[in-house]
Structure 1
Amino acid sequence: MTLQSQPNFVHYPETASQTGGPYVHIGLAPKQAGFEIFDNNFGSVLVTPDTRGERIQVEGRVFDGSGSLVRDVLVEIWQANAEGKYAHPGDLQDKAIDPSFRGWGRTGADFETGVYTFETIKPGSVAGRGGALQAPHICVILFARGINLGLHTRLYFSDETDANSRDPVLNGIEWEVRRKSLVAQRSERNGKVIYNFDVRLQGTPDGGEETVFFDV
């Protein structure tokens, strides 16, 4: 085929990027948005009556750079069970799987209060790179308006001081004030153990420090 006989190719400009909102709930958490689309909705309750481990409630709010609540944020979590084992074939640790624990959850923040909530259990420690033991933690990812790619972070527990002090990921964060942005504070309310984990997408005028996010 000569150059003269080759078909003409049209070069189109790249499509503009889009963020995850403001309608992210319709596709990922439709029930919250008032749409009954799926037979099985992914939700914020990761436990069943048979799940082993300490029952906890994780809750918090997400703030933007002006200090305002982000009420349309979608939050997902992924964690190990009480033995420190993920419900995934890639976890080759010699630990027991808990068939009654899903290990993954999704929820949107409440449209009125901006609070997101998960019912789960406190995870056990898992081995990281080189076999180094990591402190108990929950992996968190956020989707919302203005966010092109999901933001990945981690939630650690305020009552795991010793384990946190040895965690290789936390120790890889240079400033102590930055490490504190990943530590959820424990309290009790109506007989429930609550861990509060607020996320700040940027530093705010009131002095709030931006939450540490990871390039995953």
Structure 2
Amino acid sequence: MVQSLNRLKESPSQTAGPYVHIGLTPNFAEITGVYPEDLGIRMVNDKTKGERIVVKGRVLDGTGTPLKDALVEIWQADADGLYNSPSEVRVSADANFTGWGRCPSGMDDGVFTFETIKPGRVPYPDGRLQAPHITFWVVARGINIGLHTRMYFGDEEASNAEDPILNRIEHRVRVPTLIAQREGNVYTFDIHLQGEKETVFFDI
């Protein structure tokens, strides 16, 4: 006899928990033998073109406390503004640059770090050039759907001023939440999930 299942309710969506690190960064989670090193940990090699930079920051909750279980991924163009992607139809991107990285936040300090290159400008769909930027995706416990945002460069004032995306932000006081400041070759970009300094997130 077939039993009716109409009494069963949809289970609640699950937030990102320890399985994110176990599945995506097993070495970080002290599970060895899956990959020689976690995927996305290395974006450049000795032959990568462009200016070498370090991007570091923290994912902060509404109280300003760093999350110690966040996972951050980035995507970006190479130094010539080309993406390492099958959808890149202009010319081939730098084969020595992955264009993608993944890093868990530190369990002690909540800091994520990427060693990469400063990206070139890429065209907006209407042909206007966008300012150099890096796209971020963040997951952590308590976040049901990954959050997308962008990091722009504080030393690119002229290109930032004409960027089509930055110019679409209605509340101009929030634009600085997308701007990383430089010290030496290090850009610091903290991502605030809530609160007064809440980062602008994109509905993608």
Match of 1:65 among 48, 51, 62: 62
Q: Partner residue of 1:200?
A: 192
Kept after mapping to 2: 8 A contact 1:83/1:95: no
> Which of the pair has more CA radius of gyration?
1
Deviation at 1:9, TM superposition (A): 3.8
How high is the TM-score relative to the length of structure 1? Answer: 0.89
Q: Partner residue of 2:201?
A: 213
1:176 is aligned to 2:172: yes
1:129-208 map, 5 Å? 129-188=125-184, 193-203=185-195, 208=196
Kept after mapping to 2: 8 A contact 1:83/1:96: no
Q: Partner residue of 2:40?
A: 43
Seen in structure 2, the aligned counterparts of structure 1 residues 71 and 8 have a Cα distance that, compared at 3 Å, is closer
Deviation at 1:22, TM superposition (A): 4.0
Kept after mapping to 2: 8 A contact 1:46/1:119: yes
1:90 is aligned to 2:87: yes
Q: How many equivalent pairs are there?
A: 202
Kept after mapping to 1: 8 A contact 2:43/2:97: yes
- Partner secondary structure for residue 164 of structure 1: helix
Whole-angstrom distance in 1 between the partners of 2:9 and 2:106: 38
Q: Partner residue of 2:75?
A: 78
**Counterpart residue type for residue 194 of structure 1:** V
**Counterpart residue type for residue 49 of structure 2:** R
**Counterpart residue type for residue 215 of structure 1:** D
Structure 2: any 5+ residue segments left out of the alignment?
none
Report the identity percentage: 51
1:24 is aligned to 2:20: yes
Q: Partner residue of 2:5?
A: 10
Deviation at 1:87, TM superposition (A): 0.7
How high is the TM-score relative to the length of structure 2? Answer: 0.94
Deviation at 1:33, TM superposition (A): 1.2
**Counterpart residue type for residue 129 of structure 1:** P
Kept after mapping to 2: 8 A contact 1:84/1:95: no
